[in-house]
Structure 1
């Protein structure tokens, strides 16, 4: 079993975490190493295990509680382990998404024995795969009291900036129907792929909304992401399916997003296949304002969906803040700027101590 020194420089700790493979569904070794390290090196923390998630918290009776969360899993390794250091960059699978953030979180949890706020640490499994397997969902069902906090900070890669809330996401299939025929006698058929042009025309002329919430500007977008149709090279197709993805601002509820997409494609056969609500930024709360003051940054909208939405659904203001570069996530060349690890650790230490 690998041995981790949680009091080490977060840069070295990041390298150690990266070198323990933890592809989604295979996080047990890393989770056990972290559990053992927290139990041995952080006696001020209550530590429990949930599947391959590790949870820890203080019980100091502080007025506020801050929850620090990060996922342990990575996408499949792409020939980029073990990690390597080149100048100011640390390369390797999971460096940016999000073991640098995990390293900062566990380092702070272990070394800040008397934080100004009570702390909860959630290191969870299966974030990079389908939502039904996400460890946060299991924790919410089985250990809901562990998800109580006045502010949640998710260590997703943000390049050290504060990204508030997140967009919601909806996927739907828009179907057009026709009639099959031999392509040599096409006048006997009705081409469903040709009818899909009307679907694409609505997307081409769609005017995406922009909305400002808590000083953060969220841009919406409705795009075709896949088209499938056709039976064979000599058959007039009788069905075509256009898959669309709607990224919506967090002031829209999931139900409102569905209603909007149905309105856009009124008259077409539409099936919703995936739906996750967004998260409001919640920047007006005292805990969030205090964190922003500690960073000295101006929060910006999060483009994309993250697990802050799960916390927002529980009524917890949630922010994304981590040392990685989101543009590096999931690439063969994934890396993290080590100076960003130091900076994020410093900011969070200032906020919490």
Structure 2
């Protein structure tokens, strides 16, 4: 089929989670034989991309459809899509193209911050949870899992990364991703302040609005060394993961306005990437992650924002090589079986076909 994929504020490829998501969905759909025209942010270099978008400015977000519709309509008509797949940050652009071309639109959303037009007129809604979806639209929801680029995560270069991060042979605990307060990275700084285990480097890979604050806090960490690398090309992330002894996703959902009300309901791509390379992983104990992973088999869990409990779980993995191997191997096997982007593309294909048949809305 021919899919018009709308993610106008997302650079493709890029280094943050949204870029990883859009890039991998685009590629996975193409691997399944579909033609995909992706409207993405200006500067995107991925083949098959129409780079017309800009960053998302909340005050103007509901003007997005009119702005992009006029600029992209000719190219979209030439492409002649069968279905529109709209990321929530397109704010109704999918509905505009769907109505203009007489084709169905499918909405992907992570939260309620999508256009009311998209919620109302989309044939189907793709999400990992329906808890935050307004009740009247839940019959249209089709639940999916996000994925990870298993084949694309190469460990090549891990020895050089390890030498650079831990030249004295210290153990490495690694965080990758965006720096927002709800990512809870300050818990790792707190671990570094009170660490009483083997010599440790806590490596923070990524960037974001909370990075400067985290780096200021890290100056007071004396029991373990904290290293902030800044952004790393996603093609190199595999080497950083493979260099680590343990990986950490220290989310703090209570700091996120939506998660505070509805709970954290997203599939954590960074955790899936950690697991894909067999890294023993520590993350927070919440219902969503217990639904995805078996504690002590695939992952170790601790109460969110409890730095002492996080430190204890890190010590368990660093002090017990057998446990670390068991958790690392178990997580890797699970991800390769269930949480790949190719598997996600199969889920989307079924949803697109359902939307194209204009089937009556019924619960899945």
Q: Fold-level match, TM-score > 0.5?
A: no
* Higher Cα radius of gyration: 1
Name whichever structure is richer in helix by fraction.
2
Tell which has more relative contact order, 1 or 2 (C-alpha 8 A, sep 6+): 1
Name whichever structure is richer in strand by fraction.
1
TM-score when normalising by structure 2: 0.27
TM-score when normalising by structure 1: 0.28
